[in-house]
Amino acid sequence: MSASTINLAVIPGDGIGPEVTAEALKVLEKVVAAEGVTLEQTHYKLGAQHWLETGETLPDAVLEDLRTRDAILFGAVGAAPGDTRIPSGIIEREMLLKLRFSLDHYVNLRPSKLYGGVGSPLSNPGNIDFIVVREGTEGPYVGNGGTLRGGTRHEVATEVSLNTAHGVERVVRDAFRRANERPRKKLTLVHKHNVLVYAGHLWKRTVEAVAQEFPEVSHDYLHIDAATIFMVTDPARFDVIVTDNLFGDIITDLAAAITGGIGLAASGNINMDRTAPSMFEPVHGSAPDIAGQQKADPTAAILSAALLLEHLGYSAAAQRIEAAVVADVESRNGEVRSTSAIGDAIAAAV
Ligand SMILES: NC(=O)c1ccc[n+]([C@@H]2O[C@H](COP(=O)([O-])OP(=O)(O)OC[C@H]3O[C@@H](n4cnc5c(N)ncnc54)[C@H](O)[C@@H]3O)[C@@H](O)[C@H]2O)c1
Ligand SMILES: CC(C)[C@H](C(=O)O)[C@@H](O)C(=O)O
Ligand SMILES: [Mg+2]
């Protein structure tokens, strides 16, 4: 499926978000032009800085406008953790998560590959090449909780994880489909069903049931704590990991760290039913510690643009971006380059 025009929404966001998004657009514009495709861009000012200026998080009219686009390219949002001007969580919950939930981004796809020439902190990393299929619309992220007697010594705070049969089944089936298309055809459920028995057993039963539809895919199970051990001691064992929203958040930062760092980790927030545009963003945040200094690695944002093209049906263009990235990272040899120098080099190579 591909059209001759891509109607793209761009949300650069805060901190390094605009810096890395500019490089992703540079590469995207080049590769799309080579395919004879027109890229129409609409840029949206959203994020912590926008909230400081306007008090707006994600107005409904903006959300409706975003729904009319083919896909969303997202940078990063959020303030420095110590910035007291912005209530913690307001941008993350009312803007980023509102987008993921409203647009039904139930597949949060996060690939991890150790490219040639990229250093890993692991002494013997092996051939790391797996994807995490993180559930994106449920779990402890739904905001189901509250506090009683807030601010007193007797305060009680709850944050309830929501897991529906529908929500678990659709992401598990997506993970099995992806596993079925990969050479190793292996799926690992990561959860914590020895303690989180209600949600954990739902996930486990769902995997057992959906597995019947995919006889060629083998599947196993790891508790999240053990999964973090294997992520460091034997990451090559993983092919497709399916997990809930919070475990997936944590394990994908770890996965990024073992495959050359957060500057290389891409993601897609995907609505597989295509009832709304999907959104593509680096796994990392706004990195206030390096913002505005051209120190950020834009590779994660560039690879996220490749995932965007893949989702829209432009597989050849997506592969050209990945090939250009592979060549670039192979030639780095620890050399320090600016954000735009990396973007220029990858754009030149696509
Ligand atoms: N999707 C998102 O928009 C997203 C994701 C994660 C965090 N956040 C938000 O971002 C803000 C900062 O969060 P944080 O500090 O916990 O995480 P972070 O990912 O922004 O930064 C963690 C560390 O990684 C480094 N880093 C991140 N991206 C990099 C890149 N491309 N190149 C080189 N180094 C990079 C940073 O300099 C920092 O040292 C918070 O407000 C948080 O809520 C947003
Ligand atoms: C900023 C936050 C809401 C977000 C998440 O937890 O999903 C981020 O950490 C990520 O990994 O994209
Ligand atoms: Mg995260």
User: Is 249 a known active-site residue?
Assistant: yes
Is the minimum distance from the CB of 283 to ligand 2 under 6 angstroms? yes
Tell me if 325 sits within 8 A of 115, measured CB to CB.
yes
Return the bridge partners of 38, or none.
5
Give the C-alpha separation, 260 to 128, whole Å.
Answer: 11
Tell me the mean pLDDT in the region 137-160.
97
Tokens 């040899």 locate to 333
Is the minimum distance from the CB of 76 to ligand 2 under 6 angstroms? no
Cα torsion 209, 215, 220, 224: sign: negative
Taking the CA of 296 as reference, the closest ligand is 1
pLDDT, tens digit (0-9, with 9 covering 90-100), for 3-34: 599 999 999 999 999 999 999 999 999 999 99
At position 345, the amino acid (one-letter code) is A
- What is this structure's pTM? 0.97
Is the minimum distance from the CB of 249 to ligand 2 under 6 angstroms? yes
77 CA → ligand 2 middle, Å: 10
Specify burial of residue 303 (Cβ count, 10 A radius: 0-12, 13-18, 19+). buried
Copy the structure tokens of residue 243. 């997990």
Tell me if 13 sits within 8 A of 286, measured CB to CB.
yes
289 CA → ligand 1 middle, Å: 9
- Position 3 scores a pLDDT of 54
Whole-complex ipTM: 0.99
User: Which atom of ligand 2 sits closest to the CA of residue 100?
Assistant: 7
How far, rounded to the nearest angstrom, does the alpha carbon of residue 286 sit from its chain's CA centroid? 14
**At residue 221, does pLDDT exceed 50?**
yes
SS3 call for 289:
coil
254 CA → ligand 3 middle, Å: 10
pLDDT band at 159 (very low <50, low <70, confident <90, very high): very high
Taking the CA of 77 as reference, the closest ligand is 1
CATH class, domain 1-104+276-350, is alpha beta
Is the minimum distance from the CB of 262 to ligand 1 under 6 angstroms? yes
Burial code (b: 16+ CB inside 10 Å, e: under 16) for 240-269 equals bbbbbbbbbbebbeebbbbbbbbbbbbbbb
pLDDT, tens digit (0-9, with 9 covering 90-100), for 66-108: 999 999 999 999 999 899 999 999 999 999 999 999 999 999 9
Tell me if 281 sits within 8 A of 92, measured CB to CB.
no
- Per-residue CA distances from 241 to 20, 206, 223 (Å): 27, 14, 12
The CATH number of 120-259 is 3.40.718.10
Q: List every span in the chain annotated with CATH 3.40.718.10.
A: 1-104+276-350, 120-259
Residue 17, C-beta contacts closer than 8 angstroms, at least 6 positions apart: 11, 47, 74, 75, 76, 77, 286
pLDDT, averaged across the chain? 97
Residue 341, C-beta contacts closer than 8 angstroms, at least 6 positions apart: none
Please state, as a whole number, how many other Cβ atoms lie within 10 Å of the Cβ of residue 149. 10
Give the C-alpha separation, 314 to 311, whole Å.
Answer: 7
Tell me the mean pLDDT in the region 315-333.
96
Of 283, 286, 295, nearest to 13 by C-alpha is 286
Tell me if 346 sits within 8 A of 331, measured CB to CB.
no
Of 324, 333, 305, nearest to 25 by C-alpha is 305
Tell me if 306 sits within 8 A of 300, measured CB to CB.
no
Kindly report the backbone phi and psi dihedral angles of residue 130, in degrees, each rounded to the nearest multiple of 5, phi listed first. Answer: -140, 165
At position 310, the amino acid (one-letter code) is E
User: Is 185 a known active-site residue?
Assistant: no
- Position 334 scores a pLDDT of 82
At position 241, the amino acid (one-letter code) is I
Is the minimum distance from the CB of 92 to ligand 2 under 6 angstroms? yes
Residues lining ion ligand 3 (Cβ < 5 A) are 249
Residues in the chain: 350
